[in-house]
Chains A and B, each alone.
Chain A
Amino acid sequence: TQLLEQSPQFLSIQEGENLTVYCNSSSVFSSLQWYRQEPGEGPVLLVTVVTGGEVKKLKRLTFQFGDARKDSSLHITAAQPGDTGLYLCAGGLNDYKLSFGAGTTVTVRA
């Protein structure tokens, strides 16, 4: 059983469309991270959210942390082919064991 459940598992959209990826858990996290991984590479940190209800924007990416700090979402506006990749959410119940969701594979078609 995954500590963090991500949905959907796969997402394929046309360039210019919007998309949202979800990350849910029954546990409360002190912080939650989003990473993006491209084939043949390691995950790259995109953002950390810390405060319940927090919204962070990174260009066309918007990250939201749920009020109860149990869930998060990633919204991409006007997706581009360069947004293609595996999006992973991660959270830790303590400072040491960071758990990752299974990931959402996003494909943006030109």
Chain B
Amino acid sequence: GQNIDQPTEMTATEGAIVQINCTYQTSGFNGLFWYQQHAGEAPTFLSYNVLDGLEEKGRFSSFLSRSKGYSYLLLKELQMKDSASYLCAVRDVRNRDDKIIFGKGTRLHILP
């Protein structure tokens, strides 16, 4: 089966750096996504990793280690608008079945 774990909640201060971890177990791993979801809104795409290493995109970076089944999302220079849930999602491909499985998300609270 599939299993995706991430912390339920985190708190950080405006201007600081925060790292949100995600561990996963799946037999058909073929990529990992991070999505941001503000309260009452739809998830929006942040990043994609399929190879080991760090992908940087502005203030946000995402890291993947396939051998460890581990990823993290790094947010720098935190802003109040970064208060949201961050969803880790794994692409699972087996035979003709190709789908994305989401974790339950990490609610990030930014304090002034």
Bound pair: A and B? Answer: no
Give chain A's interface residues, CB within 8 Å of chain B. Answer: none
Give chain B's interface residues, CB within 8 Å of chain A. Answer: none
